[in-house]
Amino acid sequence: MKTDSIIEYIEKNLSEKRLRHTYGVRDTAVMLAEIYGEDKEKAETAALFHDMLKGRDSETLNAYVREFGLEDKYIDNPNLAHGKIAAILMERDYGITDRDIINAVSYHTTGRAGMSLLEKIIYIADASEPGRNYPGVERLRSEMKTDIDSAVLAALESTIKLVSDEGKFLDDDTVKARDYLLERKTKDD
């Protein structure tokens, strides 16, 4: 998969801070792909696309939400909308048809029940790349290298608590992702 065109796009359209984050997610995702035996090229591609629309104004994102017929919950909610829109654009404008890569981009903010390994890698790489600095991130960085499911579960639980505490909209996919991993963990114990 050629990543030249997305690199050109993000270099031109992302802020310096968002660009550093994107490259940090890419490096983390490729490292995790190596550890877990996932396709490194797919991990790199998903990481480079994941935030391609982050920082775009609500008007632009709302226009995409309407154009693509996405649910109303994405209107005026750039944090949730940017990944869904990027997933559609990577297929439409860049010809990427690999469902695993598309899903990894689409669900990188919320997670979902039954995430693939690639989806987990992008989700946790986004939460733990070297530029992230928040309580518990060091634990995630350590744990993700030995037990990706536990790291993803911890990140999901942290997100649910933070979003709930702030009284913001909590996407059902995040709760379902957490519940799915908890159920699997219970069955494995």
Per-residue pLDDT tens digits for 98-114: 999 999 999 999 999 99
189 pLDDT higher than 80: no
Average pLDDT, integer, range 150-161: 96
Which pLDDT belongs to residue 188?
Answer: 78
pLDDT above 70 coverage of the chain, percent: 98
Q: Residue 1's pLDDT is what?
A: 65
Domain that holds residue 46: 4-188
DSSP per residue, 49-96: HTTTTTT--HHHHHHHHHHTT--GGGTT-HHHHHHHHHHHHHHHTT--
Q: What is the mean pLDDT of residues 168-178?
A: 96
pLDDT over threshold 70, residue 174 = yes
User: Which amino acid is present at 143?
Assistant: E
Nearest residue to 68 via CA among 87, 50, 52, 49: 87
Q: Is residue 162 predicted with pLDDT exceeding 80? A: yes
- CATH number of the domain to which 77 belongs: 1.10.3210.10
Q: How many domains does the chain have?
A: 1
**Separation between Cα atoms, residue 52 and residue 4, nearest integer Å:** 14
pLDDT at 67 over 80: yes
For range 30-55, the mean pLDDT: 97
Residue 160 pLDDT > 80 = yes
